[in-house]
Amino acid sequence: MAPLVSLAEVKSYLGMTGTADDGLIASAASNASIMVERDTGRIFAVASNVTRRYSTNGEASLDIHDRPVSDATRVVTVDGATMTENEGYWMLPDWRDNLTSHTIQLRYYDRSRADWYKADPLWFDKNLDQYPYSQGTPNDLVITGTEGHPVLPLDVFEWTRRLAAFLYWQAKGGASGFVQSPEGEEFDLSADRPPGYERFVRDWRLRTGVVGI
């Protein structure tokens, strides 16, 4: 994946103008980008034509990997039937970033009646009456299209850049001692992550139910 922060952006944070450590800084930027996505369970980097498969287990909505709320290239199928956006499925905006969704809703929530599925205008196309929803067909939801955040949230950018700088300092300092950031904050280089990073991860953490790509 493309790094979430560039070499120039990390060098700007470090206050560096020389080129002697460009390779090390670029590596730190790449590693920080991977770590941020891995630690949060989110997909921030934008990629096109990505296909992922999920098992819905008959749920009305479920968490998915991050995708733009609006995407003209997106194709969604349920049990092989192609759905129409805002009729057969809805992308629910993330409260952290309303340009992006990590939740797809596939039908109305009310299941209090035996014929609950008839509230969905596409119940026939989705085969909602064909099998018990106490079970579920594996890989019944397939989404293809753009994945990631169309605009990288500012706090994600800042924490990725800070983490990249931390990794650079660790590599230069032998993972020992302390270093001071351009803002005057001291970082303990023997730590695994910079201070405050865990709270950032908690704010963005998401677990998905993907079962195949």
For residue 116, what are the contacts with CB-CB under 8 A and spacing of at least 6?
108, 110
- As a whole number of angstroms, the distance between CA 187 and CA 179 comes to 5
Q: Is there a contact between 212 and 53 (Cβ–Cβ < 8 Å)?
A: yes
Per-residue pLDDT tens over the stretch 122-161: 667 766 666 554 456 788 899 999 999 999 999 999 999 9
Q: Is there a contact between 122 and 80 (Cβ–Cβ < 8 Å)?
A: no
The number of beta carbons lying within 10 Å of the beta carbon of residue 4 is: 25
Per-residue pLDDT tens over the stretch 67-118: 999 999 999 999 888 999 998 899 999 989 999 999 999 877 666 666 666 6
Confidence class of residue 213 from pLDDT cuts 50, 70 and 90? very low
